Amino acid sequence: MNHEVVESFAQMVREKGIDKDILVGIVEDIFGMMIKKKYGQNANYDVVVNMEKGDIEIFLKKDVVEVVEDPSVQITPADATRRAGDSVDVGEEYVEIIPMTEFGRRLVISAKQNLNQRIKEIEREAIYNEYSNAIGEIVVGEIYQIRKGKGEVLVIHNKNELILPRNEQIYKERYKKGDTIRAVVKEVRKGAGNPLVIISRADSSFLMRLFEIEIPEIYDGIIEIKRIAREPGDRAKVAVLSHDERIDAVGACVGMKGVRIHAIVRELNNENIDVINYSDEPQMFIQRSLAPAKLKEVHLDVENKKASILVAQDQVSLAIGKGGQNIRLASKLTGFELTIEKEGGEEEEQYDMDLSEFREELGDVLFHKFFDENYHTVRDVIETPREDLLAALGIEPEKLDEIVSMLRKGLEEAEVDNEEEPAQGGSADVPAQAEPPAAPSEKEQADQQ
């Protein structure tokens, strides 16, 4: 029974990864309780646990006296001599080894159950501490279950279960069992069982950590991310500041033709990312945050965190963005409630759209070609002579005609949908200025060609 008990404890050490010293301490406490229950609360004892040998030794100590007043800690010389087999005199200490069988199987089973409970408590606390200290950090795990009813994705990380709730997912992503997934630890909650570890791919901190991983200057603290605003899966704006005047913050983040930011864009399922230079000056920051729209005037109400922005008729749609997205993100980035005013009263507005709205339809390679040739909006493309586009892009005429037709149709549909959109943004926290997006990989280039 002795070896059986220790082996079960050793197995817990191997499976749970619990520190041996901690486990030995628990075993000693539990067997100490067993001894006191059987031999009295005042019993003097030692419990020696040897995990390597698979052995537990229990020593009961008593003082040898002429007259016994407390049997739990005293014994007569006659009784001590009889039990030990050697002569024992008054004043000596009598030590008796207690075999495990002395406690009975029921008491041993109770001890194992008690140990299991104590180990579970330690395990829960260790999990809680591990992930509480990792809040805001990225973890990489494997999807092992998808709960269709709730839409939750269960992820295994270091043998622990993490939960990716529906509202923390990028809405257009589809997950499969066995896929490897990256997410940021957002929250850890204590419960009746193991702690509930919530991870997120939609939180702004996930985007921030990706920047730190992919851009060494941010990790080293040379460039600082000041603010982030995201609509996960669609678009994000990131405001950055360089602490070294020799380094351009936006250029370092984006890289040549977007090569540095490309990994981040792909990780976020082709979410468009605008990187802009941060400014402490609200007027300048708002101007940058609303790019690619060109602003005429910015009137600030700093006390109430509001700004009224005057733009030309042909820049209104760019400032607002598809479904009001650009102005919403700019409001979050700057912390100002932004309102757009049209210049020229009732003159007819020429609706326009950022070309990034059609990135998926164009494909990364072609999108980069347009961007490199300074075609940033739909009207930049459709109002350029066909011959100039063919010369600049080097694509087949039939392909160009299809693209122009697609862009024109998309612009017309969006113009109709946008007629009732309010030209106002909410207040909150992040960016602007469209910078060169991520460059395509060699495989993508081959696919496009």
- What confidence tens digit (pLDDT) does each residue in 29-62 have? 888 888 887 777 888 888 887 766 667 788 888 8
Q: Given this model, what pLDDT does residue 157 score?
A: 94
DSSP 18-62: --HHHHHHHHHHHHHHHHHHHH-TT-EEEEEEETTTTEEEEEEEE
Asked, for residue 410, whether it belongs to a domain, the answer is: yes
Q: What is the DSSP letter of 139?
A: E
Residues 49 and 103 in one domain: yes
Task: Give the SS3 label for residue 206.
Answer: helix
Among the candidates 159, 180, 202, a domain finishes at 202
Q: What is the dihedral of CA 278, 279, 283, 288, to 10 degrees?
A: -30
Instruction: Evaluate if pTM is beyond 0.75.
Output: no
Asked whether 115 and 6 are in contact (CB, 8 A), the reply is: no
Residues 103 and 194 in one domain: no
Structure tokens at 370: 């347009």
Task: Give the SS3 label for residue 64.
Answer: strand
Q: How far apart are CA 78 and CA 203, in angstroms?
A: 77
pLDDT in tens, 389-429: 888 888 888 888 888 888 888 877 777 666 554 444 543 33
Q: How far apart are CA 263 and CA 283, in angstroms?
A: 32
Residues 118 and 142 in one domain: no
Asked, for residue 8, whether it belongs to a domain, the answer is: yes
Residues contacting 183, CB < 8 A, separation 6+: 138, 139, 141, 155, 162, 164, 168, 199, 200, 201, 206
Q: What percent of the chain has pLDDT over 90?
A: 32
Residues 103 and 192 in one domain: no
Q: How confident is the model at residue 63 (pLDDT cuts 50, 70, 90)?
A: confident
Residue 275 has pLDDT above 70, yes or no: yes
Asked, for residue 230, whether it belongs to a domain, the answer is: yes
Domain that holds residue 174: 135-202
**Greater model confidence, 94 or 435:** 94
Among the candidates 130, 163, 180, a domain finishes at 130
Residues 93 and 240 in one domain: no
Report the chain's mean pLDDT, rounded to a whole number. 81
Q: Given this model, what pLDDT does residue 417 score?
A: 65
Asked whether 9 and 2 are in contact (CB, 8 A), the reply is: no
Q: Given this model, what pLDDT does residue 255 score?
A: 81
Q: Given this model, what pLDDT does residue 446 score?
A: 46
Asked whether 144 and 156 are in contact (CB, 8 A), the reply is: yes
Q: Given this model, what pLDDT does residue 137 score?
A: 94
Q: Given this model, what pLDDT does residue 77 score?
A: 84
**Greater model confidence, 322 or 406:** 406
Asked, for residue 431, whether it belongs to a domain, the answer is: no
Q: How far apart are CA 327 and CA 333, in angstroms?
A: 10
Asked, for residue 427, whether it belongs to a domain, the answer is: no
Residue 439 has pLDDT above 70, yes or no: no
Q: How confident is the model at residue 432 (pLDDT cuts 50, 70, 90)?
A: very low
Q: How far apart are CA 206 and CA 170, in angstroms?
A: 11
Cα–Cα distances (Å) from 54 to 17, 57, 79, 445, in that order, read 18, 10, 32, 63
Q: How confident is the model at residue 2 (pLDDT cuts 50, 70, 90)?
A: low
Q: Given this model, what pLDDT does residue 196 score?
A: 93
Residues 339 and 393 in one domain: yes
The CATH number of residue 382's host domain is 3.30.300.20
Residues 120 and 244 in one domain: no
Structure tokens at 218: 């941010």
Asked, for residue 447, whether it belongs to a domain, the answer is: no
Among the candidates 97, 130, 163, a domain finishes at 130
Asked whether 332 and 312 are in contact (CB, 8 A), the reply is: no
Q: What is the dihedral of CA 411, 416, 417, 420, to 10 degrees?
A: 130
First to last CA, the chain: 73
Q: Is the dihedral of CA 168, 171, 176, 181 positive or negative?
A: negative
Asked, for residue 281, whether it belongs to a domain, the answer is: yes
- The mean per-residue pLDDT over the stretch 1-22 comes to 64
Residues 163 and 111 in one domain: no
- The mean per-residue pLDDT over the stretch 279-284 comes to 92
**Greater model confidence, 206 or 112:** 206
Q: How far apart are CA 168 and CA 199, in angstroms?
A: 7
Residue 345 has pLDDT above 60, yes or no: no
Q: Given this model, what pLDDT does residue 428 score?
A: 35
**Greater model confidence, 438 or 47:** 47
- The mean per-residue pLDDT over the stretch 434-442 comes to 42
Quote the number of domains for the chain: 3
Q: How far apart are CA 272 and CA 356, in angstroms?
A: 7
Q: Is the peptide bond before 422 cis (omega within 30 degrees of 0)?
A: no
Q: Which of 216, 222, 184 is nearest to 202 (CA)?
A: 184
Task: Give the SS3 label for residue 245.
Answer: coil
Residue 310 has pLDDT above 50, yes or no: yes
Residues 264 and 352 in one domain: yes
The CATH number of residue 106's host domain is 3.30.1480.10
Asked whether 445 and 288 are in contact (CB, 8 A), the reply is: no
Asked, for residue 283, whether it belongs to a domain, the answer is: yes
Q: What angle do CA 314, 316, 320 make, to 5 degrees?
A: 145
Residues 51 and 79 in one domain: yes
Residues 382 and 396 in one domain: yes
The CATH number of residue 157's host domain is 2.40.50.140
Q: Is the dihedral of CA 330, 331, 337, 339 positive or negative?
A: positive
CA-atom Rg of the chain in angstroms: 35
Residues 239 and 353 in one domain: yes
pLDDT in tens, 150-168: 889 999 998 899 999 999 9
